[in-house]
Structure 1
């Protein structure tokens, strides 16, 4: 009997949203698609097109396959399905801070779950994805869409997802160099001053309040950070100049996207400033000899979806 095939679409994400280090995230309208067929015989066939097609492993190290295997083991189906045919269509830039690894993890879990009859709900998929990724800030919005607030208690993940009260465009400057999450975490201190912790608690709280109430003034205030961006600035030439340029051109603010090096500007849709903001960000980067390209994205409101 021929094995079934499923196709999944997962949005890219931007983690941290400025002050919400490892806690806040959003899903945006750039997508990776996965086609998965589980086989009863061992063996892997993995093909891919698009971003990172020449750099992603096509063997047992592949994160999509490892995630699918993880779910099959949890369901007690790993002895029944020992191989897979995988095709990936990648549009999320690799190692740039837009959640490419999270899309692969969520895609593998979601597709494998669908193929064995959906024994796990989205909350359980989130727990599995967090166990694999190590933190929920990227995988949560990839699963649920919108903005997400995440908390981990003794390894258990809770996630609150919501949509903001105003429509925004996300203008993302994608530099022409990658930055590994490992390197971006390596520059962070193990302890921070109390004043910086208080600063970020206030800003993260203000950001969520501004988004849920639709308050532009406090959105601007809520995007500032003292815990991770100041330390990572040395890895991204001109980062703060790009932030300033985006604000001057009409953005409510800009942040480092995830671990970077992408920088993401938040632009209220009614201001129609996304084109000017993109040009300003590119010009600011050029002054620091960094070539970049612009992605203008919307908020994804659905998260991972099975394609019919």
Structure 2
């Protein structure tokens, strides 16, 4: 029987929560999987132009990860792929594809892996859990990866917390964004990161929206990546004056995330973010979203990818 897997985009780090904190955003990568005698991989839509239409496709390789963890061959199927997640923009496009693929492979195999094992497979493939955990579970997730496993706490989004994202019209690879980071940090920067990450997690857990602007300060990665994202420094320092509760580089960028209070209008924040883009000769989109709470969803039946 055909089934559909839908995995959301995600925004990682949220400032100081480097490689350990993220939330899910309702833009989706969707797989439609139909068991059949031979394997077909079918990317759909202009956003996936140029992606492999064979077993080298990242989604299919992710499905194989589930089979390898179980120690069984992956049954053949037709896999249709489409996505709403902008590629190489810091919104977890690879994590959504990875999680959707592992979950789809697990479904084909009869669900031998539980959610915690799916997360561990995904986190070890990515090297960190900050995108894959919210892509799998939805909401806001604090997660760590170590030799003993992948450990996480899922937080329900605080009341009235919304997300505004600025998605510039240029790509920034994660490898390039990681290459600019220093190999060592001072004790002061380490203490700053630890204290602010702890405050951010606590503020999100208790719904302390008033603390987000202070808790989201970061010297571990945003300072070093700012030259790669024109206007980022201005937004991090000034967005709160235009209605943002806090601002951060989304993942490795170039997308910038701002929190807002859903009881307040966001028109002023949108105008400000567009003005920063214009000042820096950039174009892009500004969008408001709720935090996705469902995470990855599997549906069985004749749903089709459009």
TM-score over 0.5 for the alignment?
yes
1:136 counterpart = 2:129: yes
Q: Shift in Å at residue 209 of structure 1?
A: 1.1
Q: Shift in Å at residue 40 of structure 1?
A: 4.5
Q: Shift in Å at residue 50 of structure 1?
A: 4.8
| Counterpart-to-counterpart distance in 2, 1:156 and 1:50 | 38
Secondary structure of residue in 2 paired with 1:21: strand
Match of 2:286 in 1: 294
Q: Shift in Å at residue 280 of structure 1?
A: 0.9
The residue correspondences of 1:34-183 to structure 2 (distance < 5 A) are: 34-41=31-38, 43-51=39-47, 53-78=48-73, 81=75, 83-154=76-147, 156-183=149-176
| Counterpart-to-counterpart distance in 2, 1:45 and 1:147 | 32
For 2:259, which of 238, 259, 266 is the aligned residue?
266
Q: TM-score, normalised by structure 1?
A: 0.93
* 1:242–1:285 Cα contact (<8 Å) kept: no
Q: Tell me the alpha carbon deviations over residues 239-287 of structure 1, each in whole angstroms, 9 at most, x when there is no partner.
A: 1112344212111111000000000100011223x23212211111210
| Counterpart-to-counterpart distance in 1, 2:59 and 2:6 | 13
Secondary structure of residue in 2 paired with 1:33: strand
Secondary structure of residue in 2 paired with 1:23: strand
The residue correspondences of 1:149-298 to structure 2 (distance < 5 A) are: 149-154=142-147, 156-272=149-265, 274-298=266-290
Match of 1:18 in 2: 15
Secondary structure of residue in 2 paired with 1:161: strand
Compare 236-245 and 12-21 and name the one that shifted more.
236-245
* 2:31–2:100 Cα contact (<8 Å) kept: yes
Q: Tell me the alpha carbon deviations over residues 137-163 of structure 1, each in whole angstroms, 9 at most, x when there is no partner.
A: 100000011111111222621111111
| Counterpart-to-counterpart distance in 1, 2:225 and 2:218 | 11
1:8 counterpart = 2:5: yes
Instruction: Mark the runs of 5 or more structure 1 residues left unpaired by the alignment.
Output: none
* 1:10–1:305 Cα contact (<8 Å) kept: yes
Cα distance change on mapping 1:38 and 1:135 into 2, 3 Å: farther
Q: Shift in Å at residue 37 of structure 1?
A: 2.7
Paired residues, what number? Answer: 300
Cα distance change on mapping 1:155 and 1:180 into 2, 3 Å: farther
Compare 90-99 and 207-216 and name the one that shifted more.
207-216
